[in-house]
Amino acid sequence: MAVSTEAAWARVAELARAPAAAAIRPLMADPARAARFTHRAGDILADLSKTSVSDTVREALLDLSRARGVLAARDAMAAGEAINATEGRAVLHMALRGPRGAFRTEGEDASAGVHDTLDAMRAFCARIHAEGRFTDVLSVGIGGSDLGPQMAVRALWRHGMPMRAHFLSNVDGHAWEALRHGLDPARTLVLVASKTFTTAETMANAHLVRDWLRGALGEAADAQMVALSTNLDATRAFGVPGSQVFGFRDWVGGRFSLWSAIGLSVALACGWEVFAGLLAGARRMDEHFLSATEAENLPLLMALTEVWHVNGLGLPSRAVLPYDERLARFPAHLQQVEMESLGKRVTLEGAPVSRATGPVVFGEPGTNAQHSFMQLLHQGTTPVPADIVLVATPDHGFDENHRQLLANGLAQAEALLRGRGAEEVRAEMEAKGMAAGAIEALLPHRLFPGDRPSATLVLPRLDANTLGQLVALYEHKVFCLGALWDVNAFDQWGVELGKQLAGALLPELSPGAAAGEHDPSTAALIAELHRQRGG
């Protein structure tokens, strides 16, 4: 019999109150556990066994998923329903990588426009590559109009690919200052990537870059500006020739827009086949997400594991550790995808949530992370679940390095799980001939509690297809968490207030400007900045 949502949450809470709820090591005594908690989706293998999710807990979590109707919500998303209720929009990033005719919304074929745009993007790339005039592409954008493409180019660009890509996001002039000296205006194609084409930072930087082009090339410079946006009026007003505007629809959320025209920088820099491979990989994960049963649905199982960590065990953060330098920007991309989606405090109906929602997500590539923040994961007071991403086969020939990399990734997960008890630490120090007093003094500092959770994802190799699968896997995980927590994962009202206040503060920072009404702290800081800036 189906359980109610409240009964399902109560069952999860009850299991989490059990004395050994957070213990993982006893579960690992079961030799079949690793296989039972390891899942495949497309080319990705995910070992979720190094967590305290027992079979009983998993059943309770699956009951919760059924009670919350997660798979029905998934189907509503795929059917083009306006599930982004606060913005009255469908959520159809899957249509960006789906086959023609696959997705509809409001009675229209959403895929038709997608494929028209893809055709235009492909033809544009072919022309730019054939002409050979441009060696560099500069993409000006921020947030979802920057992080996804930047992450993908970092992961997929190889020497010999058609163009070099650069990304300008921060309104901090130092970012442009650092970039512009390395660019030849005559050989740089500029993309202004902005869903709304109103984002202050992007528009400020777009003007800087256009001034730079015009300074070098005169009015002809405008011909090498390209716009990627839903706001065609604004791109026209900015003066971008219509043939160089690539659009998308408002049912593409900014943080899910890598697959849209926003991904043009990937296609230009890496080649069309790479961009097409990215889309194909994401589609492969979509097919898994849309067809797998609850018990085999990897995005859902990862979401349920997160529910256990956040709501069951009260763990407020998660680390993302790709053991691949090419995935250096993957944690940054996920930070936006996850935290902008799930950093919510009211339900879809507008009531305060009754339990914690999105955790803090942070990360760095391994092994660098080990020499940075992993100390806290091993010995800090609050466990931080870690996602460890391994790539079995590298693209380079330095196999010894790669073995070291993999050994370190595996070792971190093992160390988090196993910990290190007093007997082992004492024996090690005794073997080194240390005095008994010194051993006892050092002992507490050298203990590792263990039982710290991690998930290990293994990709056979990192290419466009597997990267597409990986990114889509996390997108769908976020969707499931939104459905489980009953929050809208597709709006981002929380970014508005800061934008508005920055707009109000801007004139107050002009020389001699009068200060507006502020709290005493902000007022004093404005006065101090005026003093230090000499005005």
Ligand X SMILES: O=P(O)(O)OC[C@H]1O[C@](O)(CO)[C@@H](O)[C@@H]1O
For residue 139, the cross-strand partners are: 167, 191
Least separation, in Å, of the C-beta of 199 and ligand X? 3
Least separation, in Å, of the C-beta of 494 and ligand X? 9
| Nearest Cα residue to 322 out of 259, 412, 453 | 412
Question: Of residues 177, 440, 499, 528, which has the active-site annotation?
Answer: 499
- Choose which of 105, 202, 465, 488 interacts with ligand X (CB under 6 A): 202
Are the C-beta atoms of 85 and 488 separated by less than 8 Å? Answer: yes
Known catalytic residue at 108: no
Are the C-beta atoms of 34 and 47 separated by less than 8 Å? Answer: yes
- Choose which of 93, 164, 166, 255 interacts with ligand X (CB under 6 A): 255
Known catalytic residue at 371: yes
Q: Determine phi and psi for 386, rounding to 5 degrees.
A: -125, 140
**If DSSP codes are grouped into helix, strand and coil, which group holds residue 492?**
coil
Q: Is 142 in the site for ligand X (CB under 6 A)?
A: yes
Q: Is 254 in the site for ligand X (CB under 6 A)?
A: yes
Q: Which parts of 80-109 interact with ligand X (CB under 6 A)?
A: none
Q: Is 144 in the site for ligand X (CB under 6 A)?
A: yes
Q: Is 72 in the site for ligand X (CB under 6 A)?
A: no
Q: Give the H/E segment covering residue 532.
A: helix 520-533
Q: Is 185 in the site for ligand X (CB under 6 A)?
A: no
Q: Is 488 in the site for ligand X (CB under 6 A)?
A: no
Distance CA 330, CA 322 (A): 8
- Choose which of 42, 80, 143, 468 interacts with ligand X (CB under 6 A): 143
Least separation, in Å, of the C-beta of 326 and ligand X? 23
Q: Is 205 in the site for ligand X (CB under 6 A)?
A: no
- Three-state SS across 287-312? HHHHHCCHHHCHHHHHHHHHHHHHHH
Q: Which parts of 362-381 interact with ligand X (CB under 6 A)?
A: none
Distance CA 131, CA 124 (A): 11
Residue among 443 and 495 whose Cβ is closer to ligand X: 495
User: Number of helices and strands (H, E) in the chain?
Assistant: 21, 13
The residue count for the chain: 535
Stretch that binds ligand X, among 169-177, 188-196, 449-457, 476-484 (CB under 6 A): 188-196
Question: Of residues 338, 340, 364, 475, which has the active-site annotation?
Answer: 340
Q: What is the DSSP letter of 197?
A: S
Known catalytic residue at 349: no
Q: Is 331 in the site for ligand X (CB under 6 A)?
A: no
Residue among 400 and 496 whose Cβ is closer to ligand X: 496
Residue among 495 and 509 whose Cβ is closer to ligand X: 495
Stretch that binds ligand X, among 96-104, 120-128, 143-151, 207-215 (CB under 6 A): 143-151
Least separation, in Å, of the C-beta of 250 and ligand X? 10
Residue among 195 and 309 whose Cβ is closer to ligand X: 195
**Alpha-helical runs (H) found in 93-165:** 110-131, 147-156
Q: Is 58 in the site for ligand X (CB under 6 A)?
A: no
- The token pair at 388 is 């460890």
| Nearest Cα residue to 12 out of 68, 50, 56, 48 | 56
- Choose which of 5, 196, 347, 408 interacts with ligand X (CB under 6 A): 196
- Choose which of 52, 169, 194, 466 interacts with ligand X (CB under 6 A): 194
Question: Of residues 371, 428, 440, 528, which has the active-site annotation?
Answer: 371
For residue 337, the cross-strand partners are: none
Q: Using CB under 6 A as the criterion, what x/- string covers residues 334-363 for binding ligand X?
A: ------x-----------------------
Q: Is 453 in the site for ligand X (CB under 6 A)?
A: no
Residue among 102 and 204 whose Cβ is closer to ligand X: 204
Number of residues that bind ligand X (CB under 6 A): 14
Over its C-alpha atoms, the chain yields an Rg (Å, rounded) of 25
List CB contacts of 78: < 8 A, sequence separation 6 or more: 94, 103, 290
Distance CA 295, CA 292 (A): 8
Q: Give buried/exposed letters for 321-359 (b at 16+ CB in 10 A, else e).
A: bbbbebbbbbbbbbbbbbbbbbbbeeebeeeeeeeebbb
Stretch that binds ligand X, among 149-157, 189-197, 341-349, 397-405 (CB under 6 A): 189-197
Q: Determine phi and psi for 428, rounding to 5 degrees.
A: -65, -45
Residue among 287 and 491 whose Cβ is closer to ligand X: 491
Least separation, in Å, of the C-beta of 169 and ligand X? 9
One-letter amino acid for residue 256 of the chain: F
Q: Is 529 in the site for ligand X (CB under 6 A)?
A: no
Residue among 80 and 141 whose Cβ is closer to ligand X: 141
- Choose which of 126, 295, 495, 501 interacts with ligand X (CB under 6 A): 495
Stretch that binds ligand X, among 93-101, 190-198, 321-329, 408-416 (CB under 6 A): 190-198
Q: Is 69 exposed, middle or buried (0-12, 13-18, 19+ CB in 10 A)?
A: middle
Q: Is 492 in the site for ligand X (CB under 6 A)?
A: yes
Stretch that binds ligand X, among 97-105, 117-125, 141-149, 420-428 (CB under 6 A): 141-149
Sheet with 317-323, side-by-side order of all strands: 38-41, 44-47, 454-459, 386-391, 317-323, 360-363
List CB contacts of 202: < 8 A, sequence separation 6 or more: 140, 141, 142, 145, 169, 192, 193, 194
Q: Is 199 in the site for ligand X (CB under 6 A)?
A: yes
Catalytically active residues, by annotation: 340, 371, 499
Residues that bind ligand X (CB under 6 A): 142-145, 194-196, 199, 202, 254-255, 340, 492, 495
